[in-house]
Amino acid sequence: MFEYVKKSLLTGVGMALRSKNEIRELAEELAKSTQMNQAEAREFLDECQQKYEEARTKLDKRMEKTVEEVLRRLDLPTRSDIQALNKRIDDLVKQIEKNVC
């Protein structure tokens, strides 16, 4: 039973959707209810926090990739596209100023 609950708690999406405090509280509650010793509880809490960070990072990367894909499909200019256009405009302004003076 404990391993089942532990695995459920450590699943990526579940971990990523909870706050860090919620994860700590769940881990502490589980440690108490299963009568873990202090070392086991600390190890379990550390594992939960590590899995939380991993899940959060993966979720952030997936969200970023999804947003980039949506922007690409919308055919919106990227920051680098805009920067390149600004540079071209600056270069053209300099050429015009040279020719006028």
In the chain, domain spans = 2-100
Q: What is the CA radius of gyration of the chain?
A: 25
Give the pLDDT band (50/70/90) at residue 1: very low
Q: Is the pLDDT of residue 26 over 60?
A: yes
Mean pLDDT lowest among 9-18, 28-37, 67-76, 87-96: 9-18
Q: Look at residue 35 in the predicted model and tell me its pLDDT.
A: 75
* Report for 13-17, 21-25, 30-34, 74-78: range of highest mean pLDDT: 74-78
d(CA 86, CA 77) in angstroms, rounded, equals 12
Q: Look at residue 15 in the predicted model and tell me its pLDDT.
A: 57
